[in-house]
Chain A
Amino acid sequence: MTEPLREKPLTQNIHPGAEPLDLRAYVASGGYQGLRRALKMTPEEVQQEVIRSNLRGRGGAGFPTGKKWTFVPMGPAARRPKYFIVNADEMEPGTMKDRFLMEGDPHQVVEGAIIASYAIQADVAYIFLRWAYKLSSRRLARAIAEAREGGYLGRSVLGSGWSLEMHLHTSAGRYMCGDETGLLDALQGRRATPRAKPPYPQSVGLWGKPTVVNNVETVACVPHILARGAAWFRSLSHTGDGGTKIYGASGRLRRPGLWELPMGTTLREIIEQHAGGMADGLRLRGLLPGGASTEFLTAEHLDVRMDFGEVQKVGSRMGTGTVVVLDDRNCPVGMLLALERFFARESCGWCTPCREGLPWVVRTLEALESGRGEMRDMEVLDMHARLLGPGATFCALAPGAAEPLAGALRRFWADFERHVAEKRCPWR
């Protein structure tokens, strides 16, 4: 395997604590060159360039981005208006990477959204932003206004004859808004409940019109792919998935944080080198590789490369790539309870297994944590890990909740048994 280029395109302009680049400074640093190159290509050529880059969606699912774009009806027969939406509703527990990108370099997100909109010939773009991200909101609003004044948005973008409007939409808060189809309903001013697929949003999306929804980090990669080419983007990675990745780590670590590293960096490098290892006196017991809805891994998996395929091989998912680390002074059952409380509270209530099953999981875990658990409770939990899995519900919330549940039972069975045998949480 050849060594990746050690470049950091996504964070080259980001200096935490400082104001982000304004339009003039962003252009001076090479910004909007990707858009200029894209506008000289046909939309289909832009789609093909992104397909060749092996960019996969950074929201967690890892779907090939360029391929997603090819599902949008093109040409004069396509229904209009077409929409492009940046999913900036970051709410996966343990995940803070999109905030870092939006606060740090808002024009990079805006430029990526314009190029993606061009690739599908969208007429209107929305950035669907989480309400809690106040600083991102101010900075994105300013970047959009500057881009409009500079001719990068509005009528005939840079004289190309293609027009695009862009609006910042701030949500009112709910995990379901991050689900692709829940987001569409939220944006239409309805309760965020998932839609049955097919039809997929690429053909029937926002207000029934062709729509693409891409994650912030995905969108931030696009200007660089267009400016410097698909081959260069692929060479940033250790593995077959193109590009760099914004990895993060939280929990009781010496230096929790965020780092842009080659795609496919090992968990060991992220945790031991960049996060500085566990805080004093603590031992690593387990980890969630990419947010709350990924299966637990343990210390034996530290040499796994963090990309979409490699993490799947050991039974989990890279998800958002932001690692949450469990230390030996925190109770694994208690951690699982915190995770499942989140999912139970955020369930939109649309599908019965999720609405009814998750509170049951929470009550069972509460019984175990408070010393009222019985051995058969673990069978109840195991049953839920299967019944809440893929296929039983419209969206990925319940399957996401089932992943750490199944993982905790697999990796920490003895800890569950101790709760029952000792009739208390051994960590309290």
Chain B
Amino acid sequence: MLSEIEKREIAAHRGHYADVRAVVPEALKIVQGHRGWISDEALKDIADHLALAPDEVDSIATFYTIIFRRPVGRHVILLCDSVSCHLTGYDAVREHLASRLGIGLGQTTADGRFTLLPAACLGLCEQAPAMMIGEDVHGNLTPHKVDEVLARYD
């Protein structure tokens, strides 16, 4: 079952669209916001609430980048690996992040603090190399600056 607050937040978007399916991406983001990721149970809760088949909801959940169908850490690091970041030091930043966190791309630290994911161009090209952590953007990254940034997330 979706919680009352999840239902209320989804209802606020439902009226924006001519068809109930259109609210699915937003519903997935809302439920993920409360539960951290989209488990099979969460998927079924959304499908039941919107009277859709779970498979229909899963076809959306598995297509879009920021819907997580596996558990993630408290903070998700999205590290841009597109062209401008590639040219300005992405490799050094990735290697530093991987060694500081002890994980590779697609993995979560053992303490559940960080998940490190590759990301397509974040539109921060004038401050490349760049990454997002949660809703925050961090640009002009160097290995030293990465250390400073990581320290701000518990």
Contacts and interface: CB of A to CB of B under 8 A. Distances in A.
Interface residues of B, number: 42
Contacts of A95: 121, 123, 125
Interface in A123-138: 126, 130-134
Interface residues of A, number: 57
Interface string B119-143: 1111111111000100101000000
Most chain A C-beta atoms within 10 Å of own C-beta, residue among B22, B78, B126, B128: B126
Contacts, number: 137
Interface in B84-132: 84, 86-88, 90, 119-128, 132
Given A96-B123, A250-B125, A256-B128, A342 B83 contact: yes
Interface string A392-424: 000000000000000000000000000000000
A164 to B, nearest CB: 14
Contact of A174 (B64, B82, B83, B125): B64
B21 interface: yes
Contacts of A248: 125-126
B65 interface: yes
Given A133-B123, A172-B64, A188-B19, 7 more contacts: A94-B125, A170-B29, A173-B65, A189-B22, A256-B126, A338-B86, A342-B121
Q: 8 shortest A-B CB distances, which residue pairs?
A: A173-B65, A172-B64, A189-B21, A93-B82, A338-B86, A250-B125, A93-B121, A250-B84
Interface of A: 81, 90-96, 98-99, 126, 130-134, 167, 169-175, 186-192, 207, 248-252, 256-258, 288, 292, 322, 324-327, 330, 334-335, 338-339, 341-342, 345-346, 348
25 contacts: A90-B123, A93-B82, A93-B125, A130-B123, A132-B132, A173-B64, A173-B66, A174-B63, A174-B64, A186-B25, A189-B17, A189-B19, A189-B22, A191-B59, A251-B87, A257-B126, A292-B83, A324-B83, A327-B87, A335-B86, A338-B81, A338-B82, A338-B87, A345-B120, A348-B63
